[in-house]
Amino acid sequence: MPGTFRVGLLGHGTVGSAFATLLEQRAEAIVPVTGLRPELSGVLTRSRGDFEEILSGADLIVEVIGGVEPARDYVLRAMRAGKHVVSANKQLLSQHGEELWACARENAVQLRFEAAVAGVVPVIRVLQESLAAAHVERIHGIVNGTTNYILSEMARSGMSYADALRQAQDLGYAESDPTDDVTGRDAAAKMAILARLAFDTPVHLDQVRYEGIEHITADDIAYAQQFGLGLKLIGTAERVGDGLSVHVHPAFLYGGHPLASVNGPFNAVTVESDAITEITMSGPGAGGPQTASAILGDVISAMIPPATTPETSQALPIVADVQSAFYLHMEVADRPGVLAQVAELLGMQGASIKSVVQQGLGHDARLVMILHPLAESRFYAAVHLIGQLDFMRSSPRAIRVIEEEFV
């Protein structure tokens, strides 16, 4: 008879209930792999269960409550009691990761968190294990399925942001309060976790600059399609000189980029390094059964060999001003000299124009251009000055462009 491995479950919502079902379904199949049969030994919700009792009767705790407190307190107490922990909580790890990983090391227990980033896509495991020896240069990620679905629908049908959001909510891809998703904060938390692992340096959510998709118009997406560009909400973590830049922004991609074809509520992460060129992993980024599958994978790993998240060995400075190419959209009066004045202001900041499209709109005109890479601060200085020109009909709109293609 195999022994049992007792799993205490904190949270029984979308993910917790799917995990409980999956654990029961897969328990027998896990026995030959681990020599132990996992079983649910207790469940905590707001209205049921007692944490101390669940803790004392468990070998491992699964935390799927979400948010910072009381999840942080429970996870710390579990590890101090010598229990392994599996968590799907990106907000907790992106804000208190160093404290939690230190606690895991001190107590010689495992803290696993595959489901916290990109759902079932095994990106944490790949960074921690398979690519542990690679000198990662850059990570790009579509790590929020809600916003990827909204942008995909806007591109496909030309619908407005508001209509695409409503459709995402009707289909269950967006919460009734979608703020964390559409502002980029959810993606920022995931990028903080990825950056910490890939670059071996502490990264807190507060150090990640983020911008959401609420201001994106179907117009911008349609114009950029003429340049062969598609829009995504992209998280980037990259080496800049001796430092690290981590940010989340809407960005245009050319068709050859591995993330360009990732549509709908899917997630994908691209890791670039000299040694490996580029690896892309993609798959469902959320959903109860999908997330539960990632959690159960972590539980099985915790049942086998010891693994900890090592202490970071350096503290890279976080760099804010990085180089980027840009898409610039302007509504202007249709009169001579307009393009020349815009080009002059851009030129003064060192910006050079890669391509431009001009379209007449009666007495006005629409000027859309793609700029070669330059420092963001210089680009926005130029945009500020352009916005003050008397022929501008509305504020210029700018979106980053990622130029790399891997074809």
Ligand X SMILES: NC(=O)c1ccc[n+]([C@@H]2O[C@H](COP(=O)([O-])OP(=O)(O)OC[C@H]3O[C@@H](n4cnc5c(N)ncnc54)[C@H](OP(=O)(O)O)[C@@H]3O)[C@@H](O)[C@H]2O)c1
Q: Which of 41, 267, 282, 291 binds ligand X (CB under 6 A)?
A: 291
CB 152 within 8 A of CB 264: yes
Q: Which of 64, 164, 234, 386 binds ligand X (CB under 6 A)?
A: 64
Peptide bond into 336 cis (omega under 30): no
Binding mask 23-62 for ligand X (x = CB under 6 A): ---------------------xxxx---------------
Options 33-41, 82-90, 93-101, 222-230: segment touching ligand X (CB under 6 A)? 82-90
Pairing label, strands 364-375, 323-333: antiparallel
DSSP 62-105: EE---SSTTHHHHHHHHHHTT-EEEE--HHHHHHHHHHHHHHHH
Q: Which of 8, 119, 235, 250 binds ligand X (CB under 6 A)?
A: 119
- Site size for ligand X (CB under 6 A): 22
Confirm or reject binding of residue 273 to ligand X (CB under 6 A).
no
Confirm or reject binding of residue 11 to ligand X (CB under 6 A).
yes
CB 173 within 8 A of CB 151: no
Confirm or reject binding of residue 88 to ligand X (CB under 6 A).
yes
Q: Cα 388 to the chain's mean position, in Å?
A: 35
Confirm or reject binding of residue 176 to ligand X (CB under 6 A).
no
We find the least distance from the C-beta atom of residue 64 to ligand X, in angstroms, to be 4
We find the least distance from the C-beta atom of residue 52 to ligand X, in angstroms, to be 13
CA-CA distances (angstroms) from residue 243 to 45, 98, 188, 400? 42, 19, 18, 21
We find the least distance from the C-beta atom of residue 235 to ligand X, in angstroms, to be 15
375 contact partners, CB below 8 Å, separation of at least 6: 321, 322, 323, 350
Q: Which residues pair with 359 in a beta bridge?
A: 366
354 is catalytic: no
The token pair that represents 208 in the structure block: 């990640």
Binding to ligand X in span 250-269, by CB under 6 A: none
The phi, psi pair for 39, rounded to 5°, reads -145, 150
We find the least distance from the C-beta atom of residue 213 to ligand X, in angstroms, to be 19
Q: Which is nearer to ligand X, 64 or 229 (CB)?
A: 64
Q: Which of 250, 287, 373, 396 binds ligand X (CB under 6 A)?
A: 287
Closest CA to 314 of 240, 203, 191, 205: 203
We find the least distance from the C-beta atom of residue 75 to ligand X, in angstroms, to be 11
We find the least distance from the C-beta atom of residue 84 to ligand X, in angstroms, to be 18
* Residues in contact with ligand X by the rule CB under 6 A: 11-16, 44-47, 64-66, 70, 88-90, 115, 119, 286-287, 291
Q: What residues are annotated to the active site?
A: 190
